Amino acid sequence: MTINAPRGVHDIIGANAFKMTELENNAKFIFARHGFIEARTPIFEDIALFIRSIGEQTDIVSKEMYVFEDKKGKKFALRPEGTASFVRAYIEHRLDMSYPEGKFFYSGEMFRYERPQAGRYRQFHQIGGEFLGNSSPSADAEIIIITADILSSVGIKELSIHINSLGCCNCRPKFRQALIDYFSSIKDLCQDCQIRLEKNPLRLLDCKIDSSKFTNVPKMTDFLCPECKENFSIAQDLLKSAGYKFRVDDKLVRGLDYYNRIVFEIRSSVLGAQDALAGGGRYDNLVKDLGGQPIPAVGFALGSERVILAAQETDFFEKKEKAKKIYIAVADKELIGDAFAFAIRITKQGLKNNKNISVYPPLIDKNFTNQLKFANKINADETIVFAKNEFDNGNLIVKDMKARTQIEIPISEI
Ligand code: HAM
């Protein structure tokens, strides 16, 4: 009996691994330009951390967490997202002291027990950024811009940025009440919505089942207090002046409870149902709620698998991937030492000069004919042949494997 990977969990090999690394490298480059530093946090945490931060009634905590007990009966959960863990680390290490107005990024595996489908997995990867210690709309705008820039950096063009404001503890209760009044008048709400109506009425706004029944739903933007209104409006002005198009989406509420004020999602039409490439927003109360100082914060995370799926529409990764493949062959076995040393030397030179080549040293278990067959099998662009007569004259044979031509080139010129 063979054992396969669990449902919704994937091996990432070859071209897919290459794409993920490329995306992570691009993101790191953009983060560095904005002064972000890296943070790596554990893959599992005390379950209480996620319950207190993401919210007990959210789908993530109530339905989707991978929970386990250790040998002493202590309950842990595999991280379903990165913000809670990062904020725990931020408080634990007093990063507010060492990094006032600190910007941090992370990347890694997240785990949610969801129904798997294209773009939705049980183990997936996020790249995220968190900006702690600044409550201004310029921090909001910077986070949205970085998210969009990372997505554009892998060639995705059709991005739509959705933003909304969820208000603050002063204005949200009035909106919450207006929603309760409104939704209570609607008949036949689905089972989830009936529970949400009691615990978190905002979540009804993005119900996939009942949404067609909702017309003229109260809008948070009509309930914002003057300060929230001003912040939201400045963030929009900043995005506009930086040349980023967005739309205000009254239905955007996000699936995690820690948000206040601005929230956003960046979507791509090429993805179908799972169209959110990235999401985030402000969470000014979370650090305090988890036992830290009252420190404002804003952040985002993107789903790497979804971004890679969306980027398939472009030739970004394919173009990048095309390293020139060179096989080094030996026609006469006595030259194996010279050929092998040469292969290693040009590999290093390629690395040093940032040349996009991959070099395959000679395989001495194969005769010359089989080496050439191997070169074809790996789809080599060129084979450089060490052959006695030519080598004695200071030359190597360079075979163009695609054009099926060959020339002799002095070793010193290769
Ligand atoms: P989130 O919207 O839950 O936010 O997740 C961010 C992104 O992760 C989504 O937009 C999506 O691309 C990806 N994602 C989520 N679930 C799955 C899944 N099952 N399979 C594949 N991809 C998935 C957060 O996690 C927040 N921590 C973002 C944040 C950071 N807010 C403030 N700081």
Could you tell me the residue range of the domain that residue 405 belongs to?
A: 323-413
Query: 279: CA distance to ligand 1 center in Å?
Result: 6
Burial of 3 (0-12, 13-18, 19+ CB in 10 A): exposed
Give yes or no: residues 22 and 111 share one domain: yes
Ligand 1 lined by 303 (C-beta under 6 Å) = yes
The sign of the CA dihedral 25, 86, 204, 209 is positive
- Ligand 1: which residue has its CA nearest to atom 17? 120
In the prediction, which pLDDT does 195 show?
85
Do 196 and 259 touch, CB atoms closer than 8 A?
no
Give yes or no: residues 162 and 235 share one domain: yes
In the prediction, which pLDDT does 355 show?
78
Pocket test for ligand 1, best of 121, 123, 126, 143 (most atoms within 8 A of CB): 126
Partnered with residue 299 across adjacent β-strands are 130, 281
In the prediction, which pLDDT does 321 show?
67
Percent of the chain with pLDDT over 90: 79
Pocket test for ligand 1, best of 306, 308, 309 (most atoms within 8 A of CB): 306
Which residues of the chain have a pLDDT value below 50?
Answer: none
Give yes or no: residues 283 and 337 share one domain: no
- Ligand 1: which residue has its CA nearest to atom 22? 303
In the prediction, which pLDDT does 207 show?
82
In the prediction, which pLDDT does 193 show?
86
CATH code of the domain in which 363 resides: 3.40.50.800
Ligand 1 lined by 280 (C-beta under 6 Å) = yes
Give yes or no: residues 104 and 246 share one domain: yes
Number of C-beta neighbours around residue 47 at 10 A: 17
Do 156 and 177 touch, CB atoms closer than 8 A?
no
Residue 158: phi and psi, rounded to 5, are -80, 75
Ligand 1 lined by 144 (C-beta under 6 Å) = no
Give yes or no: residues 384 and 238 share one domain: no
Ligand 1 lined by 286 (C-beta under 6 Å) = no
* Ligand 1 atom nearest to 60, measured from its CA: 3
- Choose among 216, 232, 238: nearest CA to 167: 232
Q: Tell me the CA distances in angstroms from 135 to 15, 86, 262, 408, one per residue in order.
A: 41, 18, 11, 66
With respect to residue 191, please indicate whether it lies within any of the assigned structural domains.
no
- Ligand 1: which residue has its CA nearest to atom 1? 279
- Choose among 304, 302, 260: nearest CA to 282: 260
In the prediction, which pLDDT does 186 show?
86
Last residue of a domain, one of 317, 336, 358: 317
- Cα–Cα distance, 49 to 36 (Å, whole number): 24
Domains: count for the chain: 2
Q: SS3 breakdown of the chain: % helix, strand, coil, rounded to 5?
A: 40, 25, 35
- What's the 3-state SS for 299-330? EEEEEHHHHHHHHCCCCHHHHHHCCEEEEEEE
With respect to residue 210, please indicate whether it lies within any of the assigned structural domains.
no
- Ligand 1: which residue has its CA nearest to atom 21? 120
Ligand 1 lined by 102 (C-beta under 6 Å) = no
With respect to residue 284, please indicate whether it lies within any of the assigned structural domains.
yes
Give yes or no: residues 141 and 158 share one domain: yes
With respect to residue 264, please indicate whether it lies within any of the assigned structural domains.
yes
In the prediction, which pLDDT does 414 show?
83
Last residue of a domain, one of 289, 317, 345: 317
In the prediction, which pLDDT does 215 show?
84
Burial of 247 (0-12, 13-18, 19+ CB in 10 A): exposed
